[in-house]
Structures are given as structure tokens and as C-alpha cells.
């Protein structure tokens, strides 16, 4: 009770403070308290203020989740004495709906952590989970258990999800089953499913949700990811093997993505910020596919706040990086109270009509549309969006209602906020292939799991694709740097260690000085692809101009120009999230990764090494497997100041400096303008790279340094006069192309650009 008195006093004080004189509040504060929990107010007890109840984990607020202070100074819903506002235990829907089997223990209600087991009657076999646990999000773990007998039906028994009832017990072609949810549960998914010719049920499995049921971030991004990937990969260029040759098939369609984010005051600022961040993450994730969609992105309340116009994308005047900046800078200002959900759909409909005019009727047929709306559905003006959504469907389906164009439109609703209007929102979804309605609570986690979307077979071939984690645990290192390779050579009983990078499933790029003079049998490459950690080398290729003694006559004792080598492995590595090639300059794939329209090598170099100071990275071995070194390439006017520190090394003089440090080297290190890291012994041969969105592009490789600052790896800072010299891969493309791009070899060639 002490707390509630304190709270009253605090609220009263805030009212007085805000209203200037006297203790006058718009809405009364009596009977607002909740047993077992507390509440927050978005604007004290003022009109328009939103009250949100909070309960400890495993509980939910009952009967009200939120209250709104209305214009006539009363709460909606009005606080009542009975039933008293309190925190209730989260429950899971009733699993005792299993046919032809037993559920134990039988209970009236099932709460978080309660476990159930399922057994089929004799003669019946089980599909699904035999044991399920009630989870904190109000769902059962695992999948629906189904007991069935082989009856020769065309479709398998679709079962009954917990909390549901099914009408329809015939599973032949065209037979229909219908689901409803019992009690105060509501249905998410397909309420009606038809047994199709291919023996599959149409739609997706329904589930019964309470108001307190949520989808976990992983569930959302898996389901959403699988579905949106359909749209992306149907448009993504693919490789086709015809005879011996690999043919690249590019698809002609266009993908238009429309995103709306609700910022009305029923959604807390925190939710708005997180939805905004989720949108940034989402478009970044999508950009790692080779498809380049057009975006319309808008925030909305009673009016629209457009971030990017899709027409600008079509015209090529909008850039994805600018969109991200604009999104990141978007802050919720003074919000007006209305929510017009219809307005955002009207905007999307209008944009579709404009696209149709621009593209022409014929081309418009090849346009696919994906609409994603983050909202709680609490609209109070503009009316229901349902009629507008019907028009959007007609437009995308070209007025064909036969389902033949269902693939051309997906509408996803990410239901957010504290109090969601499911009944209004669920009918707005559209599209095939899995759930399109998600109840999201943890938006922050959701962003992280968007990464999981790009984890599938169809993106296997994409160079440089990797995961970015905030937390750098050792077991995640291979996923962060899937191209990394460790190289060792054996001679006279001692071994030498270097780094390398996987550039195709069969080739590892490293420094020539790491392997020069060794027989392939003495060279091993460590890449843990889950099969064999150690790979044997089959053939070694060196740059034909590599010759350490070439400039001895000029007094340069060791000359490292063209310090590149390729190691052909005996066996292909298995490509996965943990093992994947890095992108290298001047290939077609790198062009796609950089989203360059212009197919030229120079454009890649201009984009990657454009500034006089370019931030680059390379890896070093440490007890954490590897760690990252940050360096800045000194280019243009900065270059001389950097390379001059090579004077004095191995007979290099001011006169022979340009002979020793040719234009093929990129110089890093020193303290100005940033304190760089410095290479250690053992870092040689490693990729010096740059990340672009989700892709990694190698621009150079570690060759030599002006000083030996450290031995055996480790993250070390540069001294004022220590410098590193890396072979610029743009200068050795001929060599890379001669080996990796060679046609009619026993390995699949990389496609290099003409110029
Ligand atoms: C309100 O309840 C939440 C959830 O139970 C708890 O984390 C928080 O500390 C509480 N706040 C106050 C002021 O008691
Ligand atoms: C306040 O207005 C709402 C509708 O806006 C109405 O339902 C409610 O009865 C009114 N309450 C009072 C106390 O007048
Ligand atoms: C189910 O959960 C409730 C609440 O945590 C607990 O009181 C009860 O003992 C559990 N029942 C079983 C069978 O574990
Ligand atoms: C793509 O368009 C070109 C010409 O515009 C056409 O020749 C080709 O058949 C189209 N490809 C597909 C897959 O539609
Ligand atoms: C939301 O983001 C804006 C701008 O980035 C920031 O100023 C504000 O403090 C954030 N609000 C919350 C609740 O995190
Ligand atoms: C390296 O260069 C030196 C000096 O020009 C030359 O004598 C030697 O033959 C070269 N070595 C190779 C392997 O080409």
C-alpha cells in the first residue's frame, strides 16, 4: 500500500506542475492500481495520455492491458472494482484436443513451464512433438502432435492445434477442414484449408492465441524470412549448368517494397524507435541479395511522414544509403493524437497506380509488391483500411481473382504495441507461403534475427556474405569471417604460419612469400567446414613476376612486389554460413555485391578506394581464434608520408624507395590521423578488406612491414614510424583472372569483368 500512496502523491504533483495552478488532472487516478504489478502513463493524467500496465515475467495484466484518458476526462476502458485489475499467470491453450490419443497430465489450465506428454492409441502413429512445454510467450514448444492411421487418404491428417476445434474429417482431394478457436482465444493462420492435388493442405497451420500470446523474434524472422525470400529469390539471378558451362540467368521482374511504421501516440516512443531500427536492419539484410528493390517508406499517425518516395527509386535518384541515414535521423516529434491506418494503404495504392503508369501495363505485370506495416491497429480516423486493401489486391492481381497472381502481392503485418487490435489487422494480410501476421513484443531481438533470413541454400554462392554479431564469441568467429584460412608450411622440423582467404570453394589466396619454394605436400590449409579441418594443397600458383631478389642490384635486399599466390585445394570445401568465399576485385559477383550498375573494374576500385584515407581491416590470430585490426589506407596525397618509413629497411634508400614500394602496395600504420593497428608476424597473406552492407570485399593482402613490432599475431598498435605494405589486388587482377577465371579447367571459373 505504501507504494500506491507514494504513486498518488507523485501523479498529483505532476499534474499540478504541468497544469500550472491547483491540483487538477484530466482523468481520475482512483482505482488504477494493479495487484502484483504497476503502470506507466505516457502523459501523466492529461487527456490523450496512455496508461500501460506492467507485470513480472510469466504474468500478464488482466482485465485491461492499457487505458486511454479520453477527451471527456474519463478512462477507456473504465477502471472497475470487479474484476479487480491484477497480474495473472500466463497460460497456454488447451492441449486436450488431441484425437486418438492421451494427454498427460490432464489439467484444466496449463501455465508457463508446465510440461505435457502425448501418446497415441494403439494402431495409431504419432507425428509432431511427444512432449511439449508451455513457454513464456503463451505457446507450446515443438509442433502439434497428431495421431493418425494409414487410411490411404490423399492428404495427411492435418491435426488440431491446442485450443482449436476442427470441422471436417475427410482428407481426400478438394476436401475442406475448418478451424475455430475456443473460448477467448483467437485464430492466427488459415481458418480453412483444402486438400490439394499435390497432397499438401492449402494455407498454413492455424494457431490459437490469447491476447497475451506473442511470436518470438526467431519465429517471426524464420517465417517472414522464408516468405520474403520467395519474393527475392524468384527475382534473383541464378546460375544454371548447361553442359559444362555455367550460365547466369537474370530475371526481369521488379520488386517494390512498401513499408509503413505507426508512430501514433498509442505506440510508445521506444516501440517507434525499435520499429525504425528494425526497418533499417531489414533493408540492409535485403540488400545482401542481388535483387535491388524499390522502396516506399513512410511513418504515419493522422498524417504521413514520407521518408522515401518509391518513384525516386524507380528514377534512380534515391540511394539506399541515404534512406538509411534519413531513417536513422527520424525522431518522433510532437505527435498528433489520431491514427489513420487507411491513409497509409491509400498511399501505397496510389504509388502502385503511379508505378503502373511509369512502367506501362505490360511491364507492370512483372512487378511484385511487398507491403510491410508495423502497427497496433488502433485507428480512430479514416475508417477501416479493408476496402483499400481490396483495391491493392485487385491492382496487383490485375483483377484476376483465380489465385494465379497471388504470388505478386504480400502484405505482412507486424503487430506491435501494448494493446493490439488483432481482429482488425489479421484480415489485412495477403500472400501465399506461410504466416503473414506477427505479434511482436521484442522488437530489439527481432532485428538481430533478421540475419537468420539470409542463411539459406539459395544464397550459398554469394561471396563475402557474413554475419555481424555484437558479441564476439569464439564459436561465432567463422560466421563473422567465413572466408578465413590459416596456412602453415613445414620445413626442417619447424613450421611457418600465415593467413589466407577463401576466394572460391577450391582456392585460397595468400602471400607468395608464405608458400614460395615449398612443395604442395608441405603446405596445409586450415578451414573448418565441419568435414575435415585440415585441407591439403594440390597445386601452388605464384604471380609470375614475384622475385624477391629481382632488385638486389639496386641494393634492395628483399623485394616483395607481386607477393601473391593461390593455393588450389585437393578437395572443394563445403559452403555454409561458416565457410564462404570472400569477394575479390573485378568479378561479376563483386559487382553485384556492391550494387554497381556499371560493369567495370574501375568503378569497383573507385568505390572501394576512393578517399585519401580508407578504413580497412585485417585479421590476426589470438586466443579468441582471431581478432580484428583496424587500419587506414593512406592513398593519394597521404601516400608518400606513409611509404617513406620504408627507407632504411633492407637497403632501401630515399632514392630507391619508389623502386621498392611500387604503386602495387597500399600503405597503412602510424598514429596520424588515427592510431592504426600494425601487422605482426603470422598476419602475412591475410585479407585486407572492406565491408559493404553484409558483404566483405578483399582489396589487398598483408605482405610486409617496415618493422617487426610483434611476433605470432595479436592486436597491437602501430608506433609512430612503423608501417605495413599490402598488395593491392586491383593491381594483380591479371594473375587472379589467369588462374581463377580460366575456362575449361577442372574447376568452376569465376567470372571477371572485361575492364
Ligand atoms: C514495475 O513492474 C515491472 C515489471 O514487474 C518491474 O520491472 C518494475 O521494476 C516495476 N516498477 C516499479 C516502479 O515498481
Ligand atoms: C466519454 O466519452 C465516451 C465516448 O467518447 C463515452 O463512451 C463515455 O460514456 C463518456 N464518459 C463520460 C463519463 O461521459
Ligand atoms: C503448472 O504451473 C503452475 C504455475 O507455475 C504450478 O503451480 C503447477 O504446479 C504446475 N503444474 C505442474 C503439473 O507442473
Ligand atoms: C527478359 O527480357 C529480355 C528482353 O527484354 C527477354 O529477351 C527475355 O526473354 C526476358 N527474360 C525473362 C526470363 O523473362
Ligand atoms: C528515440 O530515438 C530518438 C532519435 O534517435 C532519440 O532522441 C530518443 O531519445 C529515442 N527515444 C527512446 C525512448 O529511446
Ligand atoms: C630474379 O631476378 C634476378 C635479378 O634480375 C634474376 O637473376 C633471377 O633469375 C630472377 N629469378 C627468377 C626465378 O626469375
**Rounded to the nearest whole angstrom, what is the distance from the C-alpha of residue 751 to the centroid of ligand 6?**
32
pLDDT digits (tens, 9 = 90+) for 78-106: 998 888 999 999 999 999 999 999 999 99
Could you report the per-residue pLDDT of 300-315, keeping only the tens digit for each?
999 999 999 999 988 8
CATH number for 26-88: choose from 3.40.50.300, 2.10.70.10, 3.30.428.10, 1.10.10.1110.
2.10.70.10
Give Cβ neighbours of residue 535 (< 8 Å, ≥ 6 apart): 524, 525, 526, 527, 569, 570, 571, 573
The alpha carbon of 549 and the centre of ligand 6 are apart by a number of angstroms equal to: 6
Mean pLDDT of the chain: 87
The per-residue pLDDT for 233 is 64
Q: Minimum mean pLDDT among 200-204, 255-259, 277-281, 444-448: which range? A: 444-448
Domain 91-209: top CATH class: mainly beta
Domain 228-459 falls in which CATH fold?
Rossmann fold (3.40.50)
Atom of ligand 1 nearest to the CA of 3: 14
The pLDDT, as a whole number, for residue 120 is 95
Q: Does the CB atom of residue 331 touch ligand 5 within 6 A?
A: yes
Q: Of the residues 114, 117, 131, 134, which should be mutated to test ligand 3's pocket, given the most ligand atoms within 8 Å of the CB?
A: 114
CA-nearest residue for atom 7, ligand 6, is 550
Per-residue pLDDT of 729-741, as tens digits, reads 999 999 999 999 8
Protein residue closest via CA to atom 8 of ligand 3: 114
More reliable by pLDDT, 536 or 713? 536
Give residue 449 CA to ligand 5 midpoint distance, Å. Answer: 22
**What is the band of 236 on the pLDDT scale with cuts at 50, 70, 90?**
low
- Active site residue: 369, 513, 645, 726, which one? 513
Task: Please tell me the residue having the least CA distance from ligand 6 atom 14.
Answer: 547
Of the segments 43-52, 486-495, 614-623, which one has the largest average pLDDT value?
A: 614-623
Ligand nearest to the CA of 40: 1
Whether residue 489 contacts residue 496, with contact meaning beta carbons closer than 8 Å, is answered with: yes
Closest atom, ligand 3, to C-alpha of 105? 13
- Residue whose CB lies within 8 A of the most ligand 6 atoms, among 550, 551, 553, 557, for a mutation test: 550
Is the per-residue pLDDT at 466 higher than 80?
Answer: yes
pLDDT reported for residue 240? 52
Q: Which atom of ligand 6 sits closest to the CA of residue 547? A: 1
CA-proximal residue: ligand 2, atom 11 (nearest): 74
pLDDT band at 251 (very low <50, low <70, confident <90, very high): low
> What is the distance in A from the centroid of ligand 6 to the CA of 546?
9
Is the predicted pLDDT of residue 157 greater than 70, yes or no?
yes
Please tell me the predicted confidence (pLDDT) of residue 470. 65
Q: Whose CA is nearest to atom 13 of ligand 1?
A: 38
Confidence at residue 220, expressed as pLDDT on a 0 to 100 scale: 84
Q: How confident is the model at residue 243, as a pLDDT?
A: 47
Q: What is the pLDDT of residue 179?
A: 97
The side-by-side arrangement of strands in the sheet containing 192-194 is 164-167, 176-181, 192-194
How much is the pLDDT for 18? 47
**Distance from the alpha carbon of residue 44 to the mean position of ligand 1, in angstroms:** 17
346-371 pLDDT per residue, tens? 999 999 999 999 999 998 988 999 99
Distance (angstroms) between ligand 5 centre and the Cα of 329 equals: 10
The pLDDT value given to residue 633: 97
Residue that wins the pLDDT comparison between 619 and 531: 619
Q: Which of 148-152, 195-199, 459-463 has the lowest mean pLDDT?
A: 459-463
> Is the CB of residue 269 below 6 angstroms from any atom belonging to ligand 5?
yes
383-410 pLDDT tens trace? 999 999 999 999 999 998 888 888 889 9
Active site annotation includes 532: no
The closest residue, in CA terms, to atom 12 on ligand 3 is 114
Higher pLDDT among residues 753 and 584, named by residue: 584
List, edge to edge, every strand of the sheet that includes 66-69.
38-41, 50-54, 66-69, 75-76
For the CA of 275, the nearest ligand = 5
Domain with CATH 2.10.70.10 in the chain: 26-88, 91-209
Q: What is the 3-state secondary structure (H, E, C) of 606-619?
A: HHHCCCCEEEEEEE
Ligand 4 midpoint to CA 249 (Å): 10
- Non-local CB neighbours of 130 within 8 Å, separated by 6+ positions: 117, 118, 119, 145
Q: What's the number of CA atoms in the CB half-sphere (13 Å) around residue 107?
A: 15
Q: Which helix (H) or strand (E) holds 601?
A: helix 601-608
563 labelled catalytic: yes
Q: Which residues contact 68 (CB under 8 A, 6 or more apart)?
A: 48, 49, 50, 51, 75, 76, 266
Residues with CB under 6 A from ligand 4: 251-252
452: pLDDT strictly greater than 80: no
Q: Catalytic residue among 529, 563, 683, 724, which?
A: 563
Give yes or no for residue 333 CB within 6 A of ligand 5.
Answer: no
| CA–centroid distance, residue 74 to ligand 2 (Å) | 7
Q: What is the pLDDT of residue 749?
A: 80
Structure confidence at residue 1 (pLDDT): 28
If you measure from the C-alpha of residue 25 to the centroid of ligand 1, how many angstroms do you get, rounded to a whole number? 24
Q: What is the pLDDT of residue 265?
A: 77
* pLDDT in the model for residue 21: 44
- Phi then psi for 461, rounded to 5 degrees? -75, -10
Q: Which atom of ligand 5 is nearest to the CA of 269?
A: 13
**Start and end residues for every CATH 3.40.50.410 domain found in the chain:** 228-459
Distance (Å) from CA 251 to ligand 4 centroid: 7
| Cell numbers found for residue 32 | 488504477
Structurally, what CATH architecture does the domain formed by 475-740 represent? Answer: Beta Barrel (2.40)
Whether residue 32 contacts residue 40, with contact meaning beta carbons closer than 8 Å, is answered with no
273 pocket-lining for ligand 5 (C-beta < 6 Å): yes
Question: Of ligand 6's atoms, which has the minimum distance to the CA of residue 550?
Answer: 2
pLDDT digits (tens, 9 = 90+) for 269-323: 888 888 898 898 888 878 766 677 899 999 999 999 999 999 998 888 888 888 8
Whether 105 is in the pocket of ligand 3, judged by its Cβ within 6 Å, is yes
Asked whether the bond before 31 is cis by omega within 30 degrees of 0, the reply is no
Instruction: Give the model's pLDDT for residue 264.
Output: 84
Percent of the chain residues past pLDDT 70, beyond the cut: 91
Q: What grid cell was written down for 159?
A: 491435426
Report the distance separating Cα 244 and Cα 317, nearest Å. Answer: 41
Nearest CA to ligand 1 atom 11: 38
Q: What is the pLDDT of residue 122?
A: 93
Per-residue model confidence (pLDDT) at position 335: 67
Which positions ≥6 away from 268 have C-beta within 8 Å?
A: 42, 50, 52, 417, 418
Atom of ligand 4 minimally distant from the CA of 253: 14
56-60, 88-92, 249-253, 454-458: the lowest-pLDDT one: 454-458
Query: Do 556 and 651 contact (CB within 8 A), yes or no?
Result: yes
Q: Which atom of ligand 5 is nearest to the CA of 273?
A: 1
330 CA closest ligand 5 atom index: 4
Average pLDDT over residues 160-185: 95
513 is catalytic: yes
List, chain by chain if needed, residues with CB within 6 Å of any ligand 2 atom.
70, 72, 74
Q: What's the pLDDT at 429? A: 94
d(CA 262, CA 266) in angstroms, rounded, equals 9
Amino acid at each position: 500500500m505504501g507504494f500506491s500512496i507514494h504513486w498518488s502523491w507523485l501523479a498529483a504533483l505532476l499534474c499540478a506542475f504541468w497544469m500550472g495552478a491547483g491540483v487538477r488532472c484530466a482523468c481520475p487516478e482512483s482505482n488504477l492500481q494493479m495487484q502484483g504489478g504497476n503502470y506507466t502513463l505516457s502523459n501523466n493524467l492529461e487527456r490523450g495520455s496512455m496508461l500501460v500496465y506492467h507485470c513480472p515475467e510469466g504474468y500478464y495484466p488482466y482485465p485491461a492491458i492499457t487505458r486511454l484518458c479520453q477527451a471527456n476526462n474519463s478512462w477507456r476502458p473504465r477502471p472497475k472494482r470487479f474484476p479487480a485489475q491484477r497480474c495473472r499467470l500466463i497460460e497456454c491453450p488447451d492441449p486436450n484436443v488431441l484425437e486418438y490419443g492421451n494427454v498427460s497430465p490432464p489439467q484444466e489450465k496449463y501455465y508457463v513451464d508446465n510440461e505435457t506428454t502425448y501418446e497415441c492409441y494403439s494402431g495409431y502413429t504419432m507425428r509432431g512433438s511427444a512432449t511439449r512445454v508451455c513457454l513464456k510467450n503463451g505457446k507450446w514448444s515443438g509442433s502439434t502432435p497428431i495421431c493418425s492411421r494409414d487410411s490411404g487418404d490423399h492428404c495427411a491428417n492435418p491435426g488440431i492445434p491446442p485450443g482449436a476445434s476442427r470441422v471436417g474429417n475427410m482428407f481426400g482431394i478438394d476436401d475442406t477442414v475448418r478451424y475455430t478457436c475456443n473460448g477467448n482465444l483467437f485464430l492466427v493462420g488459415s481458418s480453412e484449408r483444402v486438400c490439394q492435388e499435390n497432397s499438401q493442405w492449402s494455407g498454413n497451420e492455424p494457431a490459437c492465441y490469447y491476447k497475451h500470446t506473442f511470436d518470438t523474434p526467431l519465429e517471426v524472422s524464420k517465417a517472414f524470412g522464408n516468405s520474403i525470400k520467395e519474393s527475392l529469390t524468384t527475382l534473383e539471378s541464378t546460375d544454371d549448368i548447361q553442359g559444362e558451362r555455367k550460365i547466369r540467368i537474370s530475371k526481369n521482374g521488379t520488386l517494390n517494397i512498401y513499408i509503413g511504421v505507426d508512430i501514433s501516440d498509442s505506440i510508445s516512443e521506444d516501440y517507434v524507435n525499435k520499429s525504425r531500427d528494425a526497418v533499417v536492419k531489414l533493408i540492409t539484410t535485403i540488400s545482401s541479395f542481388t535483387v535491388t528493390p524499390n522502396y516506399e517508406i513512410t511513418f504515419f499517425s493522422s498524417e504521413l511522414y514520407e521518408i522515401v518516395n518509391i518513384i525516386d527509386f524507380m528514377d534512380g535518384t534515391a540511394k539506399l544509403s541515404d534512406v538509411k541515414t534519413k531513417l536513422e535521423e527520424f525522431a518522433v516529434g510532437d505527435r498528433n493524437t489520431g491514427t489513420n491506418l487507411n491513409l497509409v494503404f491509400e498511399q501505397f495504392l496510389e504509388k502502385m497506380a503511379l508505378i503502373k503508369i511509369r512502367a506501362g501495363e505490360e511491364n507492370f505485370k512483372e512487378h511484385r509488391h511487398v507491403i510491410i506495416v508495423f502497427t497496433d491497429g488502433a485507428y480512430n480516423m479514416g475508417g477501416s483500411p479493408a476496402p483499400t486493401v481490396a483495391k491493392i489486391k485487385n491492382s496487383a492481381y490485375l483483377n484476376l481473382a483465380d489465385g494465379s497472381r497471388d504470388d505478386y502481392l504480400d502484405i505482412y503485418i507486424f503487430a506491435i504495441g501494448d494493446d493490439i487490435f488483432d481482429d482488425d489487422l489479421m484480415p489485412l494480410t495477403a500472400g501465399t507461403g506461410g504466416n503473414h501476421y506477427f505479434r511482436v513484443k521484442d522488437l530489439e531481438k527481432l532485428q538481430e534475427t533478421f540475419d537468420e533470413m539470409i542463411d539459406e541454400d539459395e544464397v550459398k554462392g554469394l561471396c563475402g556474405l557474413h554475419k555481424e554479431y555484437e558479441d564476439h564469441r569464439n564459436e561465432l568467429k567463422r560466421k563473422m569471417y567465413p572466408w578465413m584460412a590459416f596456412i602453415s608450411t613445414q620445413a626442417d622440423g619447424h613450421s611457418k604460419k600465415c593467413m589466407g582467404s577463401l576466394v572460391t570453394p577450391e582456392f585460397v589466396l595468400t602471400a607468395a612469400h608464405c608458400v614460395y619454394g615449398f612443395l604442395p605436400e608441405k603446405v596445409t590449409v586450415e578451414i573448418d567446414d565441419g568435414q575435415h579441418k585440415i585441407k591439403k594443397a594440390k597445386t601452388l600458383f605464384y604471380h609470375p613476376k614475384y622475385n624477391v631478389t629481382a632488385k638486389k642490384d639496386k641494393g634492395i635486399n628483399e623485394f616483395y612486389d607481386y607477393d601473391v599466390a593461390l593455393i588450389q585445394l585437393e578437395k572443394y570445401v563445403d559452403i555454409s554460413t561458416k565457410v564462404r568465399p570472400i569477394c575479390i576485385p573485378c568479378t561479376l559477383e563483386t559487382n553485384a555485391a556492391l550494387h554497381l550498375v556499371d560493369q567495370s573494374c574501375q568503378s569497383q576500385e573507385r568505390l572501394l578506394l576512393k578517399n585519401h584515407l580508407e578504413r580497412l581491416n585485417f585479421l590476426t590470430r589470438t586466443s579468441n581464434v582471431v581478432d580484428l585490426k583496424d587500419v587506414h589506407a593512406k592513398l593519394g596525397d597521404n601516400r608518400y608520408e606513409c611509404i617513406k618509413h620504408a627507407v632504411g629497411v633492407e637497403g632501401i634508400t630515399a632514392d630507391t624507395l619508389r623502386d621498392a614500394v611500387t604503386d602495387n602496395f597500399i600503405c597503412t600504420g602510424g598514429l596520424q590521423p588515427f592510431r592504426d593497428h600494425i601487422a605482426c608476424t603470422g598476419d602475412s597473406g591475410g585479407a585486407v578488406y572492406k565491408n559493404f552492407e553484409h558483404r566483405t570485399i578483399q582489396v589487398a593482402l598483408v605482405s610486409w612491414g617496415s618493422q617487426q613490432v610483434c611476433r605470432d599475431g595479436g592486436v597491437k598498435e602501430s608506433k609512430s614510424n612503423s608501417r605495413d605494405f599490402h598488395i593491392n589486388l586491383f593491381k594483380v587482377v591479371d594473375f587472379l583472372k589467369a588462374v581463377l577465371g580460366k575456362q575449361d579447367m577442372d574447376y568452376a571459373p569465376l567470372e571477371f569483368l572485361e575492364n
